[in-house]
Structure 1
Amino acid sequence: MSKASEKLADYEAMLRDNGMRITRPRQVILRILSETDDHPDAMEIFSRAQEVDPAISLSTVYRTMKLLEEKGAIHRHAFEGGRARFEQAGGGHHDHLIDIDTGDVVEFHSRKIEALQDEIARELGYEIVHHRLELYGRKRRKS
């Protein structure tokens, strides 16, 4: 079973466990989420879903995303200057670099940044329990 198929099965089980039927529109939305490797917003998910099934409503997208977020299956990011975007939960800690020209979201992990954050917190007498790092930039122009 592929990773996307496993994620789809997890999403479907989560909805069933919360008393929701797996309707065709929900199944399409869940399939899109399980196969995506970007950070789509609700309108992008809606647009992708409409390509598969034009009868899918935006409200179904919003309701499904809200439930998945409440249950911890997806993460909602409110990146500066744009609509809320979603990504699959799991996959380990990472930070984000947002391209301010294109809106692309680049995931990265840096041991140096993590160590520096821990060091700063320790020096101030704290232990980090959660953090989120978002960098905003644009591609450098080649000279």
Structure 2
Amino acid sequence: MRVQKFHLAQINIGKAKSTMDSETMRGFVDRLDEINQLADTSPGFVWRLKDGDNAVSLSVYEDPAIIVNMSVWEDLETLKNYVYRSVHIELLKERSSWFNKMDEAHHTLWWIPASHTPSIDEGKERLKHFQDKGATEFAFNFVKNFPAPT
């Protein structure tokens, strides 16, 4: 059996159109438990940021409308399967109903040692790097990605 040395971390942010308890956000909030349960039971899932059952109540950015999601996966393929080949895709298709379009990148990926749990500050640093410099081995995306270190 091969022991994995690295896992894939991801952070994504969204600027909510309204507060989480509003009618505008109801369709998103009502599906959080379902989508988080799907992630938790998906092949390749390792960890996700939580405050209670999900992370929407965490205040991470100065703008309280920005919510953050972070998770760790065994590899790029298992994360891609969850994001684009599961029920999760339904939320992506509806995101403009709940979130404002952002002018800069709102998600990034990076490799971490398998025993490491990324911090919010680490995720923010990686996202800022990606926004400023584009895809590098330090922070990348699904389209322009890099293999795990050896």
Q: TM-score, normalising length from structure 1?
A: 0.30
Structure with more of its chain in strand, by fraction: 2
Q: TM-score, normalising length from structure 2?
A: 0.29
